[in-house]
Amino acid sequence: MSSPNAEALSSTLNQIVNNIQERVILQSEHDSNAIALWTAGSYLMDQWPRFPKLLIVSPERECGKTTALQTIEPFVFKGLLASSITASALYRYIEKEKPTLLIDEADLSLKNNEELKAVINAGHSKRGANKIISVPTKSGDWEPKKMSLWGAQAIAGIGEFDDTLESRSIKIGLRRKGENENVTEIDDTYFDAQSTMRGWLASWSSNVAKQNLLIEPIMPGEIGNRRRDNWKPLFQIAQLAGEEWIKKGFAALEELELKRKSNTAVSQSNELLADLRHILSDYTGPEISSSELLKKLLRQNESEWDRANHGRAITSKWLLKQLRPYGITAHRRNQFNAYMLADLQDAFDRYLPPLP
């Protein structure tokens, strides 16, 4: 079921996607479609019992995570970009302003910060998004005060995040810009240039009939309840935008949730990629089996792949987890799994210095 403004909403979502794709190198077009749906959802999150985080992850530095947040900021509801934030500042600001917070450098700010992690994780469910603190009274006593943790959050960082946060998030994958890829720089006029679109989204959201957000969207049956909860608001936005965006929603969920696994690990990145480039330098053919690639790694002289897996030799499963953040997956064949050399070469070009 689409809304009376379906065509205009679809056009606005497409414009957001275009802005993203012009400025950020993502793992696929499906990432930008998911971001656009989430962006529109930030204006309506009070209508849902749960709303996901947007977790923007890069495998290494210089993949454009800050640029990604800057690109999204002009379109979300009351967006505010912050490079670091404390737990107490977070819930006080949410209580006061009800913003969409875009938190950069989250791999640093969340590290060993259990209080901040707890505040962010609690904001996934509207009913439980509360912080109870004690405040002094005029008489010198103390009384409890409830602070809201309910607010949309886009979080960007490098590498792996806690399972708890990832399970509450739509996870977006970044890639480093390739040699032949171009991006549009964000200048000082970019934010203000999107004011008309922000105004349209605000007006549109205030006129969305609540009953339209109560309609159960058609979603793939093979996803678990938590992922279904995360994607449900995005699918309801897609329904309001019409058939084209329903198809895009299905494709995004399939790519981000069913094809990519959220339990990726931080890689011994440059060392692994460098060794892979070395052992494949004289390899011919469009693909290599997972088992053959593993054997080649383990036969590397002076390497530590025989003890890099918590003191044990690496396995095919370990290798797959290390390569996923780079957008590299194993393809199933009749008797084995195989990696495409074109996928591996793309990662070498993006993340390793040129060979002398």
- Cβ-contact 59, 269 below 8 angstroms: yes
Percent of all residues in the chain with a pLDDT value above 70, rounded to a whole number: 96
Report residue 209 CA to chain centroid gap: 29
Please state, in angstroms and rounded to a whole number, the distance separating the CA atoms of residues 51 and 339: 36
pLDDT digits (tens, 9 = 90+) for 250-289: 999 999 988 875 334 334 457 899 899 999 999 988 999 9
Residue 341's identity, in one-letter code, is: L
Chain centroid to Cα 236, Å, comes to 19
E strands in 119-276: 130-136, 142-148, 153-158, 169-173
Which residue did the predictor score with more confidence, 201 or 85?
201
Give the pLDDT band (50/70/90) at residue 190: very high
Residue 1 reports pLDDT greater than 70: no
Given a cut of 70, whether residue 3 has pLDDT beyond it is no
- Angle between the 243-253 and 29-41 helix axes, to the nearest 10 degrees? 120
Identity of the residue numbered 13 = L
Helix runs in 254-323, H state only: 269-279, 290-298, 316-323
- Helix, coil or strand: residue 130: strand
Query: Quick one: pLDDT band at residue 214, thresholds 50, 70, 90?
Result: confident
Per the CB < 8 A criterion, the answer to whether 63 and 70 are in contact is no
The amino acid occupying position 283 is: Y
Mean per-residue pLDDT, 80-105: 90
pLDDT band at 215 (very low <50, low <70, confident <90, very high): confident
Phi, psi at 225, each rounded to 5°: -65, -40
pLDDT tens track for 40-59: 999 999 999 999 999 999 98
Mean confidence (pLDDT) of the chain: 90
Structure tokens at 211: 């009953």
217/74 Cα distance (integer angstroms): 28
Give me the phi and psi of 153, to 5 degrees please. Answer: -140, 130
Please tell me the least confidently modeled range out of 45-54, 105-114, 340-349: 105-114
User: Rounded to whole angstroms, how far apart are CA atoms 202 and 293?
Assistant: 52
- Residues 93-120 have a mean pLDDT of 90
CA dist 49 and 277 (Å) reads 48
Phi-psi domain of 159 (left: phi exceeds 0; alpha: psi -120 through 50; beta: other): left
pLDDT confidence band for 123 (50 / 70 / 90): confident
